[in-house]
A and B are shown apart, each in its own frame.
Chain A
Amino acid sequence: QKEVEQDPGPLSVPEGAIVSLNCTYSNSAFQYFMWYRQYSRKGPELLMYTYSSGNKEDGRFTAQVDKSSKYISLFIRDSQPSDSATYLCAMSDNYGQNFVFGPGTRLSVLP
């Protein structure tokens, strides 16, 4: 079993849709959870960052962490064509040094 699993997609949605992106993980030592957005052939950029379980909202983006289920989600409301990218989940342990990335989900938002 891989340490972090993520549906690779591609996921295509119409503009304005609500998008749900998910990752599951196996290592209960993970405490910090991140979502990165990567445009084609560009460096990943940090979207959201959460610690332990709970929700965090930033504009159209909401990150959820359920440590009991080892499941994290990123919701994008009112999706825009500019949201078309690959979304990578990432997590690290309590020391914030050991980072593990999911393989990424490719999202296309169609105008």
Chain B
Amino acid sequence: DSGVTQTPKHLITATGQRVTLRCSPRSGDLSVYWYQQSLDQGLQFLIQYYNGEERAKGNILERFSAQQFPDLHSELNLSSLELGDSALYFCASSVSRGASGANVLTFGAGSRLTVL
């Protein structure tokens, strides 16, 4: 168990629908990152939040949105779903390592979304 919790683990829905994926970061981590990984593809960075504020945005579609709440959990909302949105969605939180202040990412187990 990495300490990053993602729900649901699996989700099957239809085109045009809307879903919400939830992430609870490791205790004490302030940053949450969202990644999309399609079948046999690399990790595509979607968006980062730090302590409730959007910090960086990657290749996130306008149909997708996210937020981080005061308790630091985050939600990724995917709307008007298309077949091509079927993928694994990972949440990661960042951990400080040593005096350098460097961060590494700790990933959750992912949410597998299937759009039919």
Contact = CB atoms under 8 A, between A and B. Distances in A.
Do chains A and B interact in one complex? yes
Interface of A: 31-32, 34, 36, 41-46, 49, 51, 88, 90, 92, 96-99, 101-104
Contact of A97 (B103, B108, B110): B103
Given A43-B2, A88-B43, A97 B109 contact: no
Interface in B70-116: 88, 90, 94, 97, 100-110, 112
Nearest to A42: B109
Interface residues of B, number: 28
A65 B107 CA distance: 23
Given A44-B90, A45-B2, 7 more contacts: A31-B102, A36-B107, A43-B110, A51-B100, A96-B102, A96-B103, A99-B33
- The B interface, classified by DSSP as helix, strand, loop or mixed, is strand
B101 A96 contact: yes
Interface of B: 2, 4, 31, 33, 41-43, 45, 48, 50, 55-56, 88, 90, 94, 97, 100-110, 112
21 contacts: A32-B103, A42-B109, A43-B4, A43-B90, A43-B108, A44-B43, A45-B107, A46-B105, A46-B106, A49-B102, A88-B42, A90-B105, A96-B101, A96-B102, A97-B50, A97-B55, A97-B94, A101-B43, A102-B42, A103-B41, A104-B42
